[in-house]
């Protein structure tokens, strides 16, 4: 039997379904994720794109380029603005889509976290129990600096 999980946005208009186990699930403390979620970190659950289906609702997209030159395409509910999905070009994410871990229906948090990345910008009150803790991301290779509000240096 293939595991299927459903979830959605805050207003309930956008509903989605995932199929199977995620490729990975992690916590990210990068400034993009902090600003995307409005929180200290994001819980990111990655699936093959073909394993995620939008069941109802409409999405709006926002695209930005990271300091490493990777393109983030962040998709959110057009009504309430909940950021549910994102794709990132490059790194080791090609063919994967990130799903906001808190958007799954109960029982929420059914997946196992394996690592936290960008601990350089982790809030001092965060203690996450995962096997691997990384200051940035293994493929992080800045080509140009981000402004101080985004670089995670605390400057």
Rounded Cα–Cα distance for residues 29 and 135 (Å): 9
Rounded Cα–Cα distance for residues 47 and 142 (Å): 26
* Domain extent at residue 102: 4-151
Q: What CATH number is given to the structural domain containing 42?
A: 3.90.1590.10
What are the residues facing 52 on neighbouring strands?
A: 18
CA 47 to chain centre: 11
pLDDT tens per residue across span 58-115: 999 999 887 777 788 999 999 999 999 999 887 666 789 999 999 999 988 999 999 9
Q: 138: exposed, middle or buried (C-beta count within 10 Å: 0-12, 13-18, 19+)?
A: exposed
Domain count, the chain: 1
């Amino acid at each position: 039997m293939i595991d299927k999980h459903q979830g959605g946005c805050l207003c309930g208009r956008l509903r989605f379904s995932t199929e199977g186990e995620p490729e990975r699930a992690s916590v990210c403390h990068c400034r993009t994720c902090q600003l995307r979620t409005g929180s200290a970190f994001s819980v990111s659950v990655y699936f093959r794109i073909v394993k995620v289906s939008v069941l109802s609702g409409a999405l709006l997209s926002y695209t930005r380029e990271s300091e490493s030159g990777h393109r983030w395409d962040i998709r959110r509910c057009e009504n309430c603005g909940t950021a549910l999905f994102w794709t990132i070009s490059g790194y080791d994410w090609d063919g994967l889509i990130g799903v906001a871990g808190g958007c799954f229906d109960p029982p929420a948090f059914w997946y196992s976290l394996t690592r936290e990345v960008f601990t350089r910008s982790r809030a001092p009150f965060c203690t996450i129990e995962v096997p691997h803790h990384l200051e940035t991301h293994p493929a992080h290779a800045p080509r140009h600096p981000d402004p101080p509000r985004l670089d995670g240096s605390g400057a």
